[in-house]
Amino acid sequence: MTPGVTKAIRSRWFAIVTHAGLWLLLYLAVTGLRGRPPEMREADGTSAPPQRLVPVGKADQLLNRATWPKLEPATNTANPFFTKHFIPPPAPPPPAPTTRKIELTYLGFYTSDGSKKQVIVRLADALLVTPLGAKVTANLFATDATAMSLTLTNSTPQTNLLQLNVKKELEVPIQ
């Protein structure tokens, strides 16, 4: 409150006027000045008939289900509860694979008079016979063959060892 209002509320004249006003209200309430109590009389229990009857004959048409319009789902319409604003754009397709897996099985080697060792390798269902140093598949070359294992290498210095009659899955580039 402002200092002026606080000073007015605390003043002596305000207290005297408020005190006098409350005594005046008490006097008027006790003496019943300007007013009489309402006249009370005993009422009879009958009521007047209604002026017009309520038209209930048409109420059955309101409640008849055949008169209601057919409700159909609102498909392909704007919906205030669904927005496409926050749906992220579709992800780009994944890049095409650059490698594939193949199964190789070393089956042994043989030599003939005056030629290099010929290596026998099963590639999935096909049978490959290649000399040492030649390309077996994709980027794999046969470098060394013994009775129990075959060493394969590629253009990078990565080597793979195939055991005799054991399937091994290798990853090679797609050509």
pLDDT of 173 higher than 70: yes
For residues 88 and 162, the model is more confident at: 162
- pLDDT class for 164, splitting at 50, 70, 90? very high
| pLDDT(101) > 80 | yes
Mark 115-132 as b/e (b = at least 16 C-beta within 10 Å). Answer: eebbbbbeeeeeebebeb
Domain count, the chain: 2
Q: Is the pLDDT of residue 62 over 80?
A: no
Q: Report the mean per-residue pLDDT for the chain.
A: 85
Examine residue 144 and state whether it is found in any structural domain, yes or no: yes
Q: How far apart are CA 107 and CA 109, in angstroms?
A: 7
Domain that holds residue 158: 99-169
Higher pLDDT, 174 or 36: 174
Asked, for residue 84, whether it belongs to a domain, the answer is no
Is 46 within a domain? no
What CATH number is associated with residue 105?
2.30.30
Asked if the structure places residue 72 within a domain, the reply is no
pTM of the model: 0.48
Q: What is the pLDDT of residue 166?
A: 94
- On the question of pLDDT at 81 being above 80, the answer is no
